[in-house]
Structure 1
Amino acid sequence: MTPKVEVYSVKNGVSRAWFPNDLPCNYSTCLDAWSQVFYNGCVHWIICDYAIGGSTASILTFDMSTERFGSIALPKYLVKKPAFYLKLTVVRGCLTVIYTKRPRFSFPGPSGYIISAMMEYKNTDSWALIYDVQFPYDMGRVLRLRENGGILMGAGYGELKFFDFHAGYFLDSYSRFVVEDAIYIGGYQESLALLDEGRPERDAEQDE
């Protein structure tokens, strides 16, 4: 079934829905737990096309100005990785994808992280491998990659860890005793725009 897409206009306060016919893949929904990132005027999601004998991960894009969908191929060494463990972010002005391999069901075991950046936007030949690191035990879930090359991880029992790749060791570790999945780190941008500006019901109330 073709998915329904809704675009909300802050200026008009109206949602517009339609069924797109330009999806570049055999439709496979993106789970809430998967990451998305707004970059270069487009929204990006990790998606996965399921096929007999395996699956193929890629990046789905939606251009906010043209309202058109597109796709970006991942590096060959990430295409067959489980899409659920891929995370999108922006580092040093480049679209970046992080793959995390961790032991399942909290069993002891090694963990690994593959981090790649697209040096030239939408040029799939420009994917560059930043880090491919392995650890003998579980280091946690990647929360954010810092501009200075460090990585923030959230582990079990709410541990927030910062690993400095240049120094080669963890600088800090804080325990807050919360569920791991409850830890979130994100960025924000200040704006003077009002989300309810232009809403018809607001204007009607003011007229009264």
Structure 2
Amino acid sequence: MEENSELPTILPQEILFDILLRLPIKSILKFRCVSKSWLSLLSNPLFKKTHVEFYLKKPKLTDYKLAVLASVPGLRERFCHFYNMGFQDSCLTLSRHSCPAEYLALSARILGSCNGLICLTGDSFTLVMLNACTGMFNVFPDTMLRSKCGVGGCYVRYGFGYDASVDDYKVVKIFSFSQSEGRYENMVNVYSVKAKSWKVIEGFSSGTLNGKLGVFANGVLHWEACDIRCSRVVWEIVTLDLAVERYGKIALPSYEDGGVYWTLGVSMGYLVGCCNYEPNKADVWVMKQYGVEKSWTKLVTISLPVNRRAYISPLYVEENCDEFLLQFGEEITRYNSRDGSFNRVDGYMPSDLRQVQVATYFESLASPHV
């Protein structure tokens, strides 16, 4: 090329596609107004899907966010507060941003997050799948129990995830029927966003599913469960692969004797487990290679404040493992492993809150309508 040659004024579509993938979501949304061709490109389902896949493969580049859903007793107002979560000068920061959710009831619950989408319960026995970045949402019916509960009654567990094999988002609802000696029979319903319908799949037998919400990672939902074997409580992870609808189990790392309670989370695509000991400490573990039980690695032992009985749930782990974001009972707390300090995240609700639910997500163009 000659020195005075001019660069082409129009980039090839493939190069433009690749450049736009790397831009912040807010910039992409603004660039839809540049021209009709850009609007067509950025609204294309292929671009949206590729954008999600790009950030899933590069979690270190992903700007993770925090969704907080809280309610106050005795009030009919609805509270659904969302926060941006990020790191600045190696410190975790949170800042409020508005995301109207007037369609949520006071009793709404977060059921999970996946690919930048958040699934919640809504009004009138409905579920809501929300993209907090674009504001798009999809409302669809929940499923009811089709048979009697029986003498032991039943409890309900949910899960939300993505089936990459058919490009479909799915909601799992488990009805657990008490049998005997801590055993449960589980009836499982699955909602397909693409098919817009619920179906019943093969159920399974288990111990107590303590995890109220399934944690989604690697195409699989995970619930922490405990079982009684030879008069000893054994903790493990019960799994459901959404693509093949097959159940499995993952062993948790070895833990000390004493009163324990496991909670699960996911951070940057990795499965994270927290073993809560009563009354004064908790161990946080990460599975560095999914499905390889020997890859469980302890990140930190957290000494808990005196007279605090709440369990810790892991929300986010900074890459260098210095900063942790935890749910500590009804509080959201930053924990610094270098000096062992706790810093409560304030300002997300009045002090008389009744319930706080939290989920991490990342901003994406994923559509709640498949």
Tell me if TM exceeds 0.5: yes
Q: CA RMSD in A?
A: 3.0
Question: Aligned pair 1:96/2:272, yes or no?
Answer: yes
**Per the alignment, in what secondary structure is the counterpart of residue 294 of structure 2?**
helix
Distance 1:173 1:124 in 2: 33
Question: Aligned pair 1:18/2:187, yes or no?
Answer: no
Larger radius of gyration: 2
Alignment of 1:99-178 (within 5 A): 99-103=275-279, 111-135=280-304, 137-138=306-307, 140-143=310-313, 144-148=315-319, 149=321, 150-153=323-326, 160-171=332-343, 174=346, 176-178=350-352
- Amino acid of the structure 1 residue aligned with 2:338: H
Pair 1:80–1:16, CA change in 2 (3 A) = farther
Q: Larger strand proportion, structure 1 or 2?
A: 2
Distance 1:154 1:73 in 2: 23
- In the superposition, the TM-score normalised over structure 2's length comes to 0.43
Q: Which consecutive residues of structure 1, in runs of 5 or more, have no partner in the other structure?
A: 104-110, 198-208
Pair 1:116–1:35, CA change in 2 (3 A) = farther
Pair 1:128–1:8, CA change in 2 (3 A) = same
Question: Aligned pair 1:63/2:241, yes or no?
Answer: yes
**Per the alignment, in what secondary structure is the counterpart of residue 77 of structure 1?**
coil
**Per the alignment, in what secondary structure is the counterpart of residue 99 of structure 1?**
strand
Distance 2:271 2:342 in 1: 25
Distance 1:131 1:177 in 2: 30
Deviation at 1:78, TM superposition (A): 6.4
Alignment of 1:40-51 (within 5 A): 40-51=218-229
* Alignment-derived partner of residue 125 in structure 2: none
**Per the alignment, in what secondary structure is the counterpart of residue 271 of structure 2?**
strand
- Contact 1:102–1:138, Cα closer than 8 Å, also in 2: no
Distance 1:91 1:194 in 2: 22
* Alignment-derived partner of residue 357 in structure 2: 184
Aligned residues: 180
Deviation sequence 1:137-190 (CA, Å, 0-9, x none): 14554342332532334557x6543221134423455374235x7222212354
Deviation sequence 1:10-30 (CA, Å, 0-9, x none): 11111110333xx4xx52242
Deviation at 1:95, TM superposition (A): 1.0
Distance 1:137 1:10 in 2: 46
- Contact 2:258–2:277, Cα closer than 8 Å, also in 1: no
Pair 1:53–1:171, CA change in 2 (3 A) = closer
- Amino acid of the structure 2 residue aligned with 1:11: K
Task: Identify the range of structure 1 (89-98 vs 41-50) with the bigger mean alpha-carbon deviation.
Answer: 89-98
Distance 1:115 1:57 in 2: 15
Percent of aligned pairs with the same residue? 24
Pair 1:191–1:16, CA change in 2 (3 A) = farther
